[in-house]
Chain A
């Protein structure tokens, strides 16, 4: 493999070529076998054989943006994982959530994280938020062949824009389609099989200028509503203490909310719903 040979006999010419600060582009010349989009795929649909990850929700709030995802992955009619993590910090100021073929999606997230860090180290500065969103679109585009075989990956990307104009909301959300189309969303967005229900829920609960706590509740409630109607989305699981993964990105950077914090929000929602049911 090219990387180990580099360690034994110095850097190969590709390493010393001072063109470009993209890790993906570099892998394309130095070790193309490591890139997810470069593999030959069988000419039949393999969708039923690979675990699929489902609903991701992102909402903006006053001073930043939140992203959360349920914990379920499905394989046909089976639940293949109850505790999968589908939301990740991409770097200090942005987060990425994934829906679609879990294996490829997680590989893509790893590559994307290295891509951002690589750029930061080589250039000595962080990529702009729009630049990050664009790089991700390029990666999705490279996966189009696999998407046609049933291994589509559709991420949701959100981040804190350090260059936001005065008065503009610094929390921004970008959604994608399988062809690499990149769309900036206003206020909230959702991807995955339960996204229809999650968006409908947010339509009622979200409004501009929410506080971080209120937005967290709106987000967890949207995931609850998605799990209510979509078999591929998992709801809060008090038996195993499994709750949605929620990340918050604000002026302090990207942080993952602790399980206890999310559990408290989820339990409050369940209690309120139960009370409303009894009264009704």
Chain B
């Protein structure tokens, strides 16, 4: 029998971290942003069936990057934990913190005790009744858990996307505006866009997986934004020459939606409708105006 070579614990951990980091950095990025009505998930994901974003429970969502088979197993475990807890206690007793803790324990255990760490990074998001009570937990491959206030970016180009979001993100954005900011940040680093040698100016709808946790929805807050609804939200991003009428930027909501008004979420009860002009006009007027045409930088200045 041969003796294994000695490796110091520091060396072992360093090697595993490096291994996991490398695996994660090969993937495309995911951004999770808070907005006025909840939490917005944006993933660069060409597949429409292999999801990176998922519902865990009534008010809790999940996003992941890295190796699909590994985070899919963790996603299922999270759903199971949430459902068992909700079934044996009550639906209100299922919190994002409980699920995030279980993820942290499992990731930490695998990282220290197994040969190969999980090459994944996770985000558990929970919407509360008010924007202040929204929670974003970011979990890394070694089991560290961080409670992030505004947004979480994970994946290959996370640092560059984070830097971009720091400049453009503000609190209380409307859905269309938050989506615009997020997609713009992901597009800036994506290999599919013109900036990096791809064919397009911005990531198109078919390259994106978008979902929201909308606090206004009763019971199950998670909803995927797909198809026509996503196209409409994305198309709402105005070109500079389509400046909105001046009155749209006034301090009250327009009674008839001005051109370029964000379609909003539509009726919370009706899934994937892009219609809801009432919802859009119910938002603060300044947001309508901003969504209608001013660019991201002036938004930052406004708020």
Residue numbers of A with Cβ under 8 A of B are 1-3, 6-11, 15-16, 18, 21, 23, 26-27, 30-31, 34, 110-111, 114, 117-118, 121-122, 124
Contact = CB atoms under 8 A, between A and B. Distances in A.
14 contacts: A3-B84, A3-B85, A7-B102, A10-B107, A10-B108, A11-B106, A15-B76, A15-B77, A16-B74, A18-B72, A27-B87, A111-B87, A121-B79, A122-B76
A34 B87 CA distance: 9
Interface of B: 49, 51, 54-56, 72-74, 76-77, 79-81, 83-88, 98, 101-102, 104-109
**Interface-central residue, B54, B79, B85, B104, by most chain A CB under 10 Å:** B79
A16 B106 contact: yes
Contacts of A30: 80, 84
B51 A124 contact: yes
B84 A117 contact: no
Contacts of B73: 16, 18
A228 to B, nearest CB: 38
A124 B49 contact: yes
A15 B83 CA distance: 11
A124 B106 CA distance: 24
Given A7-B81, A7-B98, 8 more contacts: A3-B84, A6-B81, A16-B73, A16-B106, A26-B84, A110-B87, A121-B56, A122-B76
Nearest to A18: B73
B155 to A, nearest CB: 21
Nearest to B105: A10
Contact of B102 (A1, A11, A111): A11
Interchain residue pairs A-B with the least CB separation, the first 8? A10-B105, A10-B106, A15-B77, A3-B84, A11-B77, A11-B106, A18-B73, A121-B79
Contacts of B72: 18
A6 B81 CA distance: 8
Nearest to B82: A121
Contacts of B49: 124
Contact of B105 (A8, A31, A114, A122): A8
